């Protein structure tokens, strides 16, 4: 599926990532832990096509990242991609229609329930707490059943119940054959991964 070949990223000629090579496999969990400012978000943004490498290539099934490839991905990033003036259900409906999914309303309602937001289904998202927004972002990212899920510190600020919910939903997706790539500051989370990665001086290395 997604592969990075000799990917280097510089900001104003300052290297952040150097010659990163990575090939993701279906049905696997990856965790990336590394200190603040080491380039984790930068890497994730290149993986989902939000930013381009300075050198090297990001490919999907051997071809350059296209809009079609990006439809195979679900992302939970620091920016939630949610509309504050829409309710939880309306947000999911918006994305379901954007993806051209059939049974959009039922799907939106099911996902609101799946992430435990039933009581807040018709509340505007601007009235949501951070944890509620994160739950809705997870639902938004999974609506279209992506083959690859990329998450940037999804557990940040979540209570134990929300965290367990995330873990359950992610495990469920992996069992269905999806790949999960998780950036986290929580080393204990990395234990659940098939592959634990870190960044050292801009290079991606496996933690053994
Ligand atoms: N758009 C940008 N322009 C210039 N420099 C940037 C930009 N984005 C990130 N950087 C720099 O690149 C480096 C890596 O940033 P990045 O956000 O990828 O790190 P991170 O590992 O995700 O950090 P954190 O754990 O704090 O979220 C930092 O030094 C940061 O200042």
Q: Count of CB atoms within 10 A of residue 142's CB?
A: 20
Task: Quickly tell me which residue has 């999914």 as its tokens.
Answer: 101
Any ligand 1 atom below 6 A from CB of 78: no
pLDDT of residue 192: 82
CA dihedral over 186, 190, 73, 133, signed as positive or negative: negative
Across residues 139-155, what is the average pLDDT? Answer: 94
Phi/psi of residue 58, nearest 5 degrees: -110, 125
Q: Is the model's pLDDT at 188 over the cut of 90?
A: no
Helix axes 130-142, 104-114, angle to 10 degrees: 140
The pLDDT confidence band at residue 53, using thresholds 50, 70 and 90, is very high
Closest CA to 165 of 197, 121, 118, 123: 118
Any ligand 1 atom below 6 A from CB of 54: no
Distance CA 111, CA 40 (A): 28
pLDDT of residue 177: 96
The pLDDT confidence band at residue 155, using thresholds 50, 70 and 90, is confident
pLDDT digits (tens, 9 = 90+) for 88-99: 999 999 999 999
Bridge-based pairing of strands 2-11 and 14-23 is: antiparallel
pLDDT of residue 187: 83
Angle at the Cα of 190 (from 188 to 35), degrees rounded to 5? 90
- List, in order, residues 6 or more apart from 174 with CB less than 8 Å away: 27, 28, 29, 180
- Atom 5 of ligand 1 has which residue's CA nearest to it? 11
- Atom 24 of ligand 1 has which residue's CA nearest to it? 36
Across residues 37-59, what is the average pLDDT? Answer: 96
CA dihedral over 75, 78, 154, 81, signed as positive or negative: negative
Rg (CA), the chain: 17
Any ligand 1 atom below 6 A from CB of 16: yes
Any ligand 1 atom below 6 A from CB of 39: yes
pLDDT digits (tens, 9 = 90+) for 100-116: 999 999 999 999 999 99
Is there a contact between 174 and 127 (Cβ–Cβ < 8 Å)? no
CA dihedral over 37, 40, 41, 43, signed as positive or negative: positive
What CATH number does domain 1-72+146-208 carry, 3.30.230.70, 3.40.50.300, 2.60.40.2470, 3.30.450.20?
3.40.50.300
Q: Is the model's pLDDT at 27 over the cut of 90?
A: yes
The whole-model pTM stands at 0.93
Domain ranges of the chain: 1-72+146-208, 82-145
Across residues 150-172, what is the average pLDDT? Answer: 90
- Atom 17 of ligand 1 has which residue's CA nearest to it? 41
For the chain, give the mean pLDDT.
94
Distance CA 83, CA 96 (A): 14
Classify 125 as helix, strand or coil. helix
Tokens at residue 16, please? 């952040």
The CA 41 to ligand 1 mean position distance, Å, reads 7
Across residues 76-90, what is the average pLDDT? Answer: 93
Q: Is the model's pLDDT at 185 over the cut of 90?
A: no
The pLDDT confidence band at residue 189, using thresholds 50, 70 and 90, is confident
The CA 88 to ligand 1 mean position distance, Å, reads 30
């Amino acid at each position: 599926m997604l592969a990075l070949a000799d990917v280097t990223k510089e900001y104003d000629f300052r290297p952040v990532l150097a010659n990163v090579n990575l090939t993701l496999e279906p049905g696997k969990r990856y965790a990336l832990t590394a200190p603040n400012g080491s380039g984790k978000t930068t890497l994730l943004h290149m993986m989902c096509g939000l930013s381009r490498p300075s050198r090297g290539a990001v490919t999907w099934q051997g071809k350059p990242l296209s809009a079609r490839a990006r439809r195979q991905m679900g992302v939970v990033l620091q920016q939630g991609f949610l509309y504050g003036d829409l309710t939880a259900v309306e947000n999911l409906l918006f994305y379901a229609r954007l993806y051209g999914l059939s049974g959009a309303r039922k799907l939106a309602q099911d996902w609101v329930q799946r992430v435990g937001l039933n009581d807040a289904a018709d509340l505007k998202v601007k009235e949501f707490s951070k944890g509620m927004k994160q739950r809705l972002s997870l639902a938004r990212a999974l609506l279209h059943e992506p083959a690859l899920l990329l998450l940037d510190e999804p557990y940040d600020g979540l209570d134990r119940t929300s965290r367990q919910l995330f873990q359950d939903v992610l495990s469920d997706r992996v069992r269905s054959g999806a790949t999960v790539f998780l950036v986290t500051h929580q080393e204990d989370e990395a234990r659940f991964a098939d592959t634990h990665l870190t960044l050292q001086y801009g290079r991606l290395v496996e933690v053994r």
